[in-house]
Amino acid sequence: TVSRRFHRCETTLACCVPVAGMGVLFHLALIFPLLWPAIAAYDNGLPNGTCFDTAIPENLRKNLTTPQGESVPITFLLAGWSSAQVTSSVIEILLTEVMGYNIAIGNRPPASSVDSIYCMLGCATWWNNTNRGCETRKIIHHVMVESWYLGFPHVLDLLAEMYQDEMPFSAGDMGYPGTAGGYLPAAPLTQALNTTGVPFEYYKNWDAAWFTPSDYFVNLTAVDTADFMKCSETTMHDNVTAYTFFKISGDTDGVVITEENGVKTYKLLCQDEYFWRPSSCRSDPSKCVVFVTGGDGWDIPHAPQRAAAYNMPFAIGVAASWSKYLEVPGKYKSMYFYWWTPDDSFIEMQPTKLILPTYDAYAWTLSDYTTAAADIKTAKIVPKDLTIMAPDVVKLLAASLFDSAAVDSMMLNMKTNSLTREQAACAWLKGNDVRWNMWIPDSTKCDPGFGLYDDATEVFTAQRTTATTCRACLPGMLSKAYSDDSGPTYVCEACPAGQQQLGAGEMACDPCPLGTSKLNQSPEECALCPAGQYQDEEGAFQCKKCPPGTTTMILGMKSISGCGCKAGSIDVSDLNSPLRTAADCQACTAGLDCPTMSTVAALKAGVSPVGEEFTPMVIEGYFSTESKPIELFKCSSPVECPGGKPDTCGGDRIGVPCGECPAATYWAGSKCSGCTAWSAIGWILCIALIFAGLVGAYYFLNSAVTAKASTLVSTTCAVGMMINMLQSLGIIGTMTVGWPVSLKGIWGFLQVFTFDIDGFAFACIAGENPVARYILLVLFFPAGLLWLSLCGLVSKVKAKWAWDTTKLRSTMGQFMQVSFSTMSSTALVPYICYAHPNGLRSNLKYTNVFCRTDEHTAMVIAGSLLLAFGVCGFWGFAAYLAHMCPKWCSTGNFRRVQSARFLLGRFRLDVWWYGVPLLLRGPLLALTVVVAPDYPAVQCLACQIILMTFMAVQIYNWPWKAPILNVVDMVVCFLLVILVAVAGFYVPAVTDGLKTFFEVFNIVALSGLLVLVGVMILASVLALFYRAAIGSQQELKIMTVGKTPPPSQVASVLVRQIAALVSKSDEQMAAKLEKLGVYDLQALQLASSILQNEVVDATDAIEPTRSSRSTSRITSQALAPAPKKKAEPEPPKPELDKDDEDPNKAKQATV
């Protein structure tokens, strides 16, 4: 019954505690929305900012330091009711102005004292009664003054079970209780006492048989029922309330009993529908004193029982609203009303509580409410940590006791004079300085568990003279008694050697537990015994060392039995042998993860008896056999060797180290897949298409070679460039760099261009033997040449089909040129041997082929033949062609030149030789993996040097016929350099000898830079004394990067060429120039611009040159110093004959 009237009744409250504070809580819930804006806009409320002239300035005030090390002000949880507001203001002023603390006010007031419990516990959403958010706890508020939380014991008990040591506590009683009940205004009480001498504040003087209270208090006939609710709208019609009254009082006339289907229902009888009247005045309303309450009927479960028990003539009514409840007692002046204290709602009426028999707890449990309600103890609630953060604040709270008169005076002053809560508190403080001065604690009188502390230096001190306050001793310290002339106190000292203290505010230290030690006196905890040590005694200064060659599996080992092999080594002894006395620890090689306490038995079993984290295992990408589990092999990928126990392969791979698939299967990238008939058919078709393509190449790749780049030539060059780029990418992908998983699929595809075609079911047609598959790949290249030769012979069957020998040679050269990088990388495959951790070496591509075995020897022979005759032979032949072509051109042997069109046709005629060095790019890139298969850092460095060298040569010569191809080739080289540079990020850090190599390399590179700059400076200095300025015609060769032809020689050639061109018409010249390439035309245009600006005199020119370059060139004359002016006689004008008078003839003579 009572629970329905609580403004926030929670399941844990049992909500039937019959105490006075429940009405107060309902009151607070009603006024909470009105208080919110004022609280949200809180400031200190004092006109001058402080209460006392001697207040500690704000800049000298201090914060709290939380256990987490945060610096925060003392934050108050400020309740909305007046008594809490003024008393909190008193504490706030003392803390800031007298004790020098910074404070803050929480931005959300509590709706009830239950909220304060969850708030001080640190719950995230303490104000939400459906979800308090206690899963996430952080202390934000530190003090709430006048909390009625002790009236909720069931909540406290439940939370204490859940949070135990985190529970908030009472920092001291307020000095006055929280009460509720019936109150009488002072005016009618005084009048009755003066008139009849009867003190109506005592319940016995309300007995209608002896007294008539209606003579002094307003009776039922004098009130307006519009100010009240009907009984049907209140708890007077509550079945349980009415039945309890009937059971306790026996007043059958005071209730209405109805029965339906055998079930009786009770409600209090309201004869006028607004008021319930007791038997003492039921027949005469004029004798009934009005008792007004609020809400839905506060105190109605109690008041009727008392009226019946003590023959008290008061009629009970419920105010129509909260505003009516506040209005009605003042409106009728002499009305008996329900109220609670401390509160300022009716304080100006100076009401007195009706004195009833003392609270009988047992009677109340029986629903007998004829005795007074129990008072509730009001207190200051704080979080537990406040005793550690600010013990002096807790002492102030404990000492600060108010009384009802003091609180009433502050509330009355605030209400009648429209003061702020701080102003009312300040006025009280100024008038009661003797009282509150007794509350201020001695800052250097420390309690047990605390010690003297200096706020200025933020350290604990052993002297009272240097201390400013007390702080709880930190973990690692003990609180020790200390006395001087000022009296006893406590100081904090660090725990001695061999002892520790994990808690704060303790009086003694504990000995170091087993497995730990502590050498010196300090606040530090006892340190766990490090790896390789143990301690089997308490209070030790130092740990004991494990036997040689062993260590402990965890820190803090407590006995010698915990000593085993160190991490990185493994016990190879027989654990079951009776002769075993100690662990036989051997270092684990790369590829084997050996945690502490590793054993061979655990490695084989895949599980360790001391725990999963101590189980040794083969790392991903490595393999070992069951018979020799600690001899590791390195695999080509983690997919093939997933690690774990020895003899474990992935994707159905077999062999050592998981290097092959079973017969009639092939490696599909993630597992071995079975061969099908379509696999063989597909390869047959593919080979047929390749050889058919070679025939087609004869017809499509033998167009006439000219100085200009035709569309077909440009297209075929672009396709060739793309193939060469893909080959380079495939070769870069073979580097032993730890590429990320997201890129491995791309590299796997690109390696097709290096003839790594096992993933395309090549084993289904070539067999599972890796040597046989490799030899077939080697034979592909001579087979291509033989096929073209055979086609040439067959074509001679009919004369019209016969292939031209020159074109056939060019086609064969084109085939070798396109496949040169692939052929180079294929020829080098047997030479790429990488090292296993066990000392053996495998071929990088065919990991199950071990180097220096018979299988490997057969591969080396095949690869060497391909390297000697295919790679070196073709490159030597290409170099020979490039060397001889100029000679053949000069002797008219054009058919031989045309046979080399595959080498010459893509490049400018003045850079015909560029195809020879370009062939070397692929083999050189592949050679980096051969030279340093186990050192990816060296591979990256070498690849970058190669690519940048080729890019520099290409930019310097700009060799391709089509300008766009030069740009594309440069960009491709640049991006390949970037790609290799990025690959360096996936390379492990270099160590040992390799680190020394890179250091030496850096020194050499730096020295080269310095030498180059030095040579340049020296040459510049010599040029000043030896020749003219840098870049002149007479400069040193080193400064002009080559020999400069003498001007006389150039002049002679120019005159002869000009004389030969004079007879040519414009059409003839255009026809000649039409055959030139782009770069030749640009060179002629530049030469014309130079002649116009530097050679031809302006007075001799027939007409200005129309070249765009001529207008953008700065002439040398413009920068030459101006000649000195001299007075010279004007030369005589020559006489012109008649022919000279013709201006056209004059121009011709000039030309």
1055 Cβ neighbours under 8 A, 6+ residues apart: none
User: How do residues 291-321 score in pLDDT, each as one tens digit?
Assistant: 999 999 999 999 999 999 999 999 999 999 9
Q: Which two tokens stand for residue 1038?
A: 């080193």
Cβ atoms of residues 106 and 141 within 8 Å: yes
Least confident of 190-194, 327-331, 579-583: 579-583
Give the model's pLDDT for residue 1112.
60
CA distance 469 to 419: 35
Question: What confidence category does residue 1114 fall into, taking pLDDT thresholds of 50, 70 and 90?
Answer: low
Q: Report residue 220: phi and psi, to 5°.
A: -65, -30
CA 532 → CA 549, 550, 672, distances in Å? 9, 7, 46
> 259 or 20: whose pLDDT is higher?
259
SS3 call for 320: coil
156 Cβ neighbours under 8 A, 6+ residues apart: 117, 149, 150, 167
Cβ atoms of residues 815 and 839 within 8 Å: no
Mean predicted confidence (pLDDT) in 871-882: 90
Which residues are registered as beta bridge partners of 478? Answer: 493
SS3 call for 976: helix
User: How do residues 929-964 score in pLDDT, each as one tens digit?
Assistant: 888 888 888 888 888 898 899 889 888 888 887 788
Mean predicted confidence (pLDDT) in 654-662: 90
Give the model's pLDDT for residue 35.
39
Give the model's pLDDT for residue 1039.
60
Which residues are registered as beta bridge partners of 19? Answer: 374
Give the model's pLDDT for residue 1136.
45
CA distance 955 to 976: 15
DSSP string, 127-188: T-TT---TTSB-----BEEEE-GGG-HHHHHHHHHHHGGG--EEEEEEEEEEEEEEEE-HHH
Of 520, 524, 515, the C-alpha closest to 544 is 515
CA dihedral 285→288→294→300, nearest 10 degrees, is -100
Q: How many helices (H) and strands (E) does the chain have?
A: 37, 36
CA distance 484 to 463: 9
Task: Looking at mean pLDDT, say which of 222-231, 716-725, 734-743, 890-899 comes out highest.
Answer: 222-231
Give the model's pLDDT for residue 999.
80
CA distance 44 to 64: 19
Question: What confidence category does residue 1007 fall into, taking pLDDT thresholds of 50, 70 and 90?
Answer: confident
Judge whether residue 221 has pLDDT over 70.
yes
SS3 call for 1066: helix
CA distance 469 to 460: 10
Burial bucket for residue 426 (CB in 10 Å: 0-12, 13-18, 19+): buried
883 Cβ neighbours under 8 A, 6+ residues apart: none
Give the model's pLDDT for residue 1148.
39
Provide the phi-psi class of 763: left if phi over 0, else alpha when psi is between -120 and 50, else beta. Answer: alpha
The whole model's pTM is what? Answer: 0.49
Question: What confidence category does residue 6 fall into, taking pLDDT thresholds of 50, 70 and 90?
Answer: very low
Give the model's pLDDT for residue 24.
44
Q: Which two tokens stand for residue 958?
A: 């700009």
Cβ atoms of residues 201 and 354 within 8 Å: yes
* Planar angle of CA 468, 472, 477, nearest 5 degrees: 110
Question: What confidence category does residue 1065 fall into, taking pLDDT thresholds of 50, 70 and 90?
Answer: confident
DSSP string, 663-696: TTEEE-SSSEEE--HHHHHHHHHHHHHHHHHHHH
Segment holding 244, helix H or strand E: helix 239-249
Mean predicted confidence (pLDDT) in 702-713: 57
Q: How many CA atoms lie within 13 A of 668 on its CB side?
A: 10
CA 1057 → CA 450, 730, 1050, 1087, distances in Å? 109, 52, 11, 13
Give the model's pLDDT for residue 11.
31
Within a 10 A sphere around the Cβ of 659, how many other Cβ atoms? 25
User: 864-901 burial, b for 16+ CB within 10 Å, e for fewer?
Assistant: eebbeebbeebbeebbebbeebeebeeeeeeebbbbbb
Question: What confidence category does residue 4 fall into, taking pLDDT thresholds of 50, 70 and 90?
Answer: very low
Q: Which two tokens stand for residue 393?
A: 């604040």
Give the model's pLDDT for residue 1027.
52
Q: Which two tokens stand for residue 797?
A: 């069957």
SS3 call for 451: strand
User: 786-816 burial, b for 16+ CB within 10 Å, e for fewer?
Assistant: ebbeebbeebeeeeeeebbebbbbbbbbbbb
Kindly state the percentage of the chain with pLDDT values over 90: 40
Give the model's pLDDT for residue 394.
92
User: How do residues 15-31 score in pLDDT, each as one tens digit?
Assistant: 333 334 444 444 444 44
Give the model's pLDDT for residue 1036.
58
Within a 10 A sphere around the Cβ of 824, how many other Cβ atoms? 28
Which residues are registered as beta bridge partners of 181? Answer: 339
Least confident of 129-133, 559-563, 970-974, 975-979: 559-563
CA distance 151 to 375: 9
Q: Which residue shows structure tokens 């604040």?
A: 393
Q: Report residue 290: phi and psi, to 5°.
A: -80, 130
CA distance 399 to 391: 12
Q: Is the peptide bond before 740 cis (omega within 30 degrees of 0)?
A: no
Mean predicted confidence (pLDDT) in 555-580: 80
Of 498, 484, 491, 503, the C-alpha closest to 542 is 498
Question: What confidence category does residue 264 fall into, taking pLDDT thresholds of 50, 70 and 90?
Answer: very high
Give the model's pLDDT for residue 230.
95
Judge whether residue 800 has pLDDT over 90.
no
CA distance 417 to 407: 15
* Pairing state between β 255-260 and 263-268: antiparallel
Judge whether residue 43 has pLDDT over 70.
no
CA distance 849 to 841: 9
DSSP string, 288-306: PEEEEE-TTTTTTTTHHHH
Question: What confidence category does residue 1 fall into, taking pLDDT thresholds of 50, 70 and 90?
Answer: very low
DSSP state of 434: H
What mean pLDDT is reported for the chain?
83
Give the model's pLDDT for residue 93.
94
Of 380, 394, 398, the C-alpha closest to 148 is 380
CA dihedral 902→906→909→911, nearest 10 degrees, is -100
Judge whether residue 51 has pLDDT over 70.
yes
> 1101 or 446: whose pLDDT is higher?
446
CA distance 947 to 145: 79
Determine the residue type at 70: E
Of 293, 280, 294, 297, the C-alpha closest to 234 is 297
User: How do residues 352-389 score in pLDDT, each as one tens digit?
Assistant: 999 999 999 999 999 999 999 999 899 999 999 898 88
Kindly state the percentage of the chain with pLDDT values over 70: 87
User: How do residues 726-761 score in pLDDT, each as one tens digit?
Assistant: 777 877 877 878 777 666 667 666 766 777 777 788
Q: Which two tokens stand for residue 575?
A: 């654990």
Judge whether residue 991 has pLDDT over 70.
yes
Give the model's pLDDT for residue 1076.
75
Provide the phi-psi class of 456: left if phi over 0, else alpha when psi is between -120 and 50, else beta. Answer: alpha
User: How do residues 898-931 score in pLDDT, each as one tens digit?
Assistant: 888 888 878 887 888 888 898 888 888 888 888 8
CA 467 → CA 333, 445, 483, distances in Å? 59, 10, 14
Q: Which two tokens stand for residue 404?
A: 């009802």
3-state class percentages of the chain: helix first, strand second, coil last, to nearest 5: 45, 15, 40
Q: Which two tokens stand for residue 234?
A: 């209140």
CA distance 871 to 914: 17
Least confident of 76-80, 919-923, 984-988: 984-988
Question: What confidence category does residue 1149 fall into, taking pLDDT thresholds of 50, 70 and 90?
Answer: very low
Judge whether residue 79 has pLDDT over 50.
yes
Give the model's pLDDT for residue 287.
94
User: How do residues 96-122 score in pLDDT, each as one tens digit?
Assistant: 999 999 999 998 999 888 999 999 999
Burial bucket for residue 310 (CB in 10 Å: 0-12, 13-18, 19+): middle
Give the model's pLDDT for residue 353.
94
> 1057 or 1128: whose pLDDT is higher?
1057
Q: How many CA atoms lie within 13 A of 601 on its CB side?
A: 12
Judge whether residue 543 has pLDDT over 90.
yes
